[in-house]
Amino acid sequence: MIVTNYLIIGSGVAGLTFAIKIADRFPDKKVTIITKSTVDESNTKYAQGGIAIVTDEVQDSYQKHIDDTLICGDGLCDVDVVEMVVTEGPKRLKELMDWGAKFDKNSKGNFDLGKEGGHSENRVVHHKDQTGYEIERAILEQVYQKENITVLDHHFALDLITENKCCIGAVALNQKTNQIITFQSDYTLLATGGIGHLYGHTTNPIIATADGIAMAYRANAAIKDMEFIQFHPTALYENTIGSKFLISEAVRGFGAYLRTKNGNRFMLDYDARGELASRDIVSQSIDLELKKSAEECVYLDCTHLDLQAFIKHFPMIYERCKNNGIDIAKDWIPVIPAQHYLCGGIVVNKNGKTDVENLFACGECSRTGLHGANRLASNSLLEALVYSDKIYHYLAQNSSENKIANNVKSEFKIELKPSVNSEYLTNLKSELQLLMRQSAGIVRFDADLFKAQEKLIKWQEELKIKVENNQISTELFELYNMTTVANLIVQQSIERKENRGGFVKYDYSYNN
């Protein structure tokens, strides 16, 4: 058994920034971070665009950023949360810079601010097209300097340990030794990221399998707004299943056009903002164009842009296109929408608290009320930074002394059975991903959702039996989590009766 004061599950910006602050505040307390891959592998690392923060109060204002967020959220944002997150942005940015994160400046020494879909002003602070990677680099350096932080990579959290709706730790699989480890903790923070691999076509890394949300659901935490899934309009089309390379929204902010195969610049037919409409509108427009044409993809045209300026701003995108045989000076970039971000998740209050005592959630796995029905571009890193700080301040003021609970009676002794056939898991995962793309994608239909629900319930029961039989492996548990959360998405999609933001559903199963 490993005993710790603070157990953090996940190693993206949300979990790591909390770890740094709480370790500084309580140098005599133990902080333990567990992550199922390497410590630097997270959704944060792949965030290209940047952080939406008001830094130029002459051209921009907090109110403009608040209004843009509320418009994008289509009436379902929590206004108090939006105001809190937006106004705290500059403080959190300064903190990142104090920790060594570097952001692009212009010739005058001011931030080189980008503009993305849904924003009324240039306010996206970035590091070329690798902002998440730069932030992860800087904060990991801070983590490694703290003697009271222990980082355990390749430890896959299986389930939370609860007693009387209070979280007292978690059980994890040490993937190197194949042993089950019990963690006893005063406070547990879920910072496990997104759900991308439920869909297969996703901009998320392969680790994004909805684990934190599934664990919280099994611990009876409230889960809400799972129907609001954001599809990034422009992932590089490569005709394969798996993680997709993202062509940042900032490329459209830089002036790129979306075109059909025959050259039609179609976005102006759907929205006066054209390519700078919010992501839900751009994704839905592309989806409709592809349905009309039966083509595999649409195209991003950058041929009219200044090549050297493009390379300076988007070196990683330029290189990836070049390696794929795409010369952006004369070739259009083939793109398709791909699952990108979950707007709902584990319900938390303004201090990041779930309704399970001593359990907190932060980052993409949480539902704060900031995003409503659709997330405004580059608000996600901002949300993670603000909420990790809120959780830190709450626990700094409310952590009881000498607490480490003796509630975990003993280590979980589980005799693992032989693993489930890997071919069965691979095939079922492919079926699940296809089902979600077809039935719970950009545009949904009630009849498809009801059919999907029947399959998901069946698969979930099959996998639950194998888990209870102790045939435990990372692959099995990931799939168990994926079917659990897929069922939540489908159920909440069925329950929602009106289209809002990123959620579009038609009913052809009834005659009304």
**CATH number for the domain that contains residue 321:** 3.90.700.10
Task: Check whether residue 214 and residue 247 sit in a common domain.
Answer: no
Using an 8 Å Cβ cutoff, are 352 and 391 in contact?
A: yes
Centre a 10 Å sphere on the Cβ of residue 456 and count the other Cβ atoms it contains. Answer: 25
DSSP 251-273: HHHTT-EEE-TT---GGGGT-TT
Q: Which pLDDT does position 412 carry in this prediction?
A: 63
Task: Check whether residue 79 and residue 107 sit in a common domain.
Answer: yes
Please choose, from the candidates 182, 180, 176, 193, the residue with its C-alpha nearest in 3D space to the C-alpha of residue 160.
182
pLDDT digits (tens, 9 = 90+) for 341-362: 999 999 999 999 999 999 999 9
Task: Check whether residue 242 and residue 138 sit in a common domain.
Answer: no
* The Cα angle at residue 468 between residues 467 and 473, in degrees rounded to 5: 25
Q: Which residues does the chain have with pLDDT short of 70?
A: 40-48, 400-413, 508-512
- C-beta contacts of 451-459 below 8 A and 24+ residues apart: 452/486, 452/490, 453/487, 453/490, 453/491, 453/494, 456/432, 456/483, 456/486, 456/487, 456/490, 457/487, 459/428, 459/432, 459/483
406 is a domain residue: no
223 is a domain residue: yes
Task: Check whether residue 445 and residue 300 sit in a common domain.
Answer: no
Task: Check whether residue 288 and residue 211 sit in a common domain.
Answer: no
Residues 92, 123, 279, 444: which is the catalytic one?
Answer: 279
Task: Check whether residue 383 and residue 479 sit in a common domain.
Answer: no
Give bridge partners of residue 333 from the DSSP assignment: 300
Centre a 10 Å sphere on the Cβ of residue 506 and count the other Cβ atoms it contains. Answer: 12
Return the CA Rg of the chain.
Answer: 22
Phi, psi of 189 (to 5 degrees): -120, 120
366, 383, 398 - which closes a domain = 398
Rounded to whole angstroms, the Cα distance separating 11 from 34 reads: 7
Task: Check whether residue 307 and residue 217 sit in a common domain.
Answer: no
Q: Is 320 a known active-site residue?
A: no
Sequence-ordered alpha helix ranges (H) in 264-379: 279-293, 307-313, 315-323
Centre a 10 Å sphere on the Cβ of residue 494 and count the other Cβ atoms it contains. Answer: 17
Sequence-ordered alpha helix ranges (H) in 162-226: 211-218
The CATH number covering residue 105 comes to: 3.50.50.60
Rounded to whole angstroms, the Cα distance separating 487 from 457 reads: 7
The continuous run of DSSP H or E covering 489 comes out as helix 474-495
339, 361, 381 - which closes a domain = 339
Q: Which pLDDT does position 260 carry in this prediction?
A: 97
Rounded to whole angstroms, the Cα distance separating 186 from 120 reads: 44
Q: Which domain holds residue 317?
A: 234-339
Q: Which two tokens stand for residue 211?
A: 């684990």
183 is a domain residue: yes
Task: Check whether residue 325 and residue 459 sit in a common domain.
Answer: no
Using an 8 Å Cβ cutoff, are 210 and 274 in contact?
A: no
Rounded to whole angstroms, the Cα distance separating 80 from 352 reads: 14
- Give the pTM: 0.89
Task: Check whether residue 348 and residue 334 sit in a common domain.
Answer: no
DSSP annotation of 110 reads S
- The CA–CA distances, whole Å, from 503 to 72, 344, 496 equal 12, 12, 9
Q: Which residues contact 108 (CB under 8 A, 6 or more apart)?
A: none
364, 398, 432 - which closes a domain = 398
Residue the block writes with tokens 């602050």: 21
- Percentage of the chain modeled with pLDDT above 90: 79
Please choose, from the candidates 463, 426, 427, 477, the residue with its C-alpha nearest in 3D space to the C-alpha of residue 175.
477
Task: Check whether residue 290 and residue 242 sit in a common domain.
Answer: yes
100 is a domain residue: yes
Burial (CB count within 10 angstroms: exposed 0-12, middle 13-18, buried 19+), residue 251: buried
214 is a domain residue: yes
pLDDT digits (tens, 9 = 90+) for 281-315: 899 899 889 888 989 899 999 999 999 999 999 99
By three-state DSSP, how is residue 486 classified? helix
409 is a domain residue: no
Q: Which pLDDT does position 117 carry in this prediction?
A: 80
Rounded to whole angstroms, the Cα distance separating 442 from 327 reads: 30
Rounded to whole angstroms, the Cα distance separating 91 from 98 reads: 11
413 is a domain residue: no
Alpha-carbon dihedral angle through residues 356, 360, 366, 369, given to the nearest 10 degrees: 80
357 is a domain residue: yes
Domain count, the chain: 3
Q: Which two tokens stand for residue 483?
A: 């079917």
Rounded to whole angstroms, the Cα distance separating 508 from 41 reads: 42
Q: Which two tokens stand for residue 387?
A: 């909420």
Phi, psi of 33 (to 5 degrees): -110, 125
Using an 8 Å Cβ cutoff, are 464 and 480 in contact?
A: yes
By three-state DSSP, how is residue 129 classified? coil
Task: Check whether residue 220 and residue 270 sit in a common domain.
Answer: no
Task: Check whether residue 90 and residue 194 sit in a common domain.
Answer: yes
- The CA–CA distances, whole Å, from 459 to 400, 432, 438, 464 equal 43, 9, 17, 9
